[in-house]
Amino acid sequence: MIETGGLIRSLSGRRAARNFHTFVINEIGQSIVTGAFAIGSVLPTDAQMMERYGVSRTVLREALKTLEAKGLVEARPKVGTRVSPRSRWNFFDPLVLAWHFEAPPDRKFYQSLFRTRGVLEKPMVELSARHRTAEHVRLLKYWCHQMETAGDSLEQFGLAALEVHGIIAESSQDLLLRSVIGVVELTLALALTREEAIPASEYRERSAALFVLVAQAIESGNAEAAREHYDATRRLDSEQVLGVQ
């Protein structure tokens, strides 16, 4: 399965090692999300899929079970495996989100991603300002510095930014709010590879500067300031992906 940061690492062309199981899941899942396997269509037969991906029936069946658990497909007796409507997909699943990076641009979907970030991040950053420890603050400052010194490396900048988000989520001490990280990674990957609003280098510079302010506010326990600066980072990402609204 994809680990946190896997999508960001892929921006530089570096792919994690994978086994046959994860390979088939990614190939079929991405084909569904990108529309190569259309919603409502029946997937090719087991024999055709086994030949296409070079895997055994056991590997294929396990992969399809995994995709069914994510809501992407449904196995039907005497019919086959059918691609499910999008309303059944688990959009908080990190893999399902990551596959959308390669999908055709969908403005409404992107807007939904940023709305979700806004709803979940507000309480998360406020809780972080109340519950952060000295170690959380140390890590925030370290990864903010990595953002500032990343230069032209999308991977270094993106991974550092994702670490900052992760530490804020961790320090919030709310298990469910941490689920926003998958959404954050996709929106961050989109922002890093688009220039709808400002040049990429300027975007990274402004983003790093805002996160320094977030870290300072969290360190001082100022929940209101932390929330305001954090919301500014979300708006910056949104503008970079969707353009100035």
Express each pLDDT in 115-152 by its tens digit. Answer: 999 999 999 999 999 999 999 999 999 999 999 999 99
Q: What is the rounded CA–CA span in Å between residue 110 and residue 93?
A: 16
Q: Which fold is adopted by the domain 106-242?
A: Four Helix Bundle (Hemerythrin (Met), subunit A) (1.20.120)
CB 92 within 8 A of CB 182: yes
Residue written as token pair 């941490």: 178
Helix, coil or strand: residue 130? helix
CATH 1.10.10.10 domain locations along the chain:
6-88
pLDDT value, residue 245: 56
Residues 165-190 pLDDT 10s: 999 999 999 988 888 889 999 999 99
Distances (CA, A) of 39 to 19, 63, 81, 168, 242: 27, 18, 11, 37, 26
Residues 87-122 pLDDT 10s: 999 999 999 999 999 999 999 999 999 999 999 999
For 2, phi then psi, to 5°, come to -75, 140
Count CB-CB contacts under 10 A for residue 229: 21
- Identify which of 214, 212, 203 has the alpha carbon closest to the alpha carbon of residue 239: 203
Residue 40's pLDDT band, with cuts at 50, 70 and 90, is very high
Residue 5's pLDDT band, with cuts at 50, 70 and 90, is confident
Average pLDDT in the chain = 93
- Identify which of 207, 211, 228, 209 has the alpha carbon closest to the alpha carbon of residue 166: 211
pLDDT value, residue 14: 58
Task: Pinpoint the alpha helices (H) of the chain.
Answer: 6-10, 20-33, 46-53, 57-69, 94-99, 107-131, 134-148, 154-171, 181-192, 200-220, 223-242
β-partners of residue 76 are 80
CATH 1.20.120.530 domain locations along the chain:
106-242
Asked if pLDDT for residue 1 goes beyond 60, the answer is no
Q: What is the mean pLDDT of residues 35-43?
A: 97
Asked if pLDDT for residue 11 goes beyond 90, the answer is no
- Identify which of 114, 27, 13, 102 has the alpha carbon closest to the alpha carbon of residue 72: 27
Its pTM surpasses 0.75: yes
Q: Which fold is adopted by the domain 6-88?
A: Arc Repressor Mutant, subunit A (1.10.10)
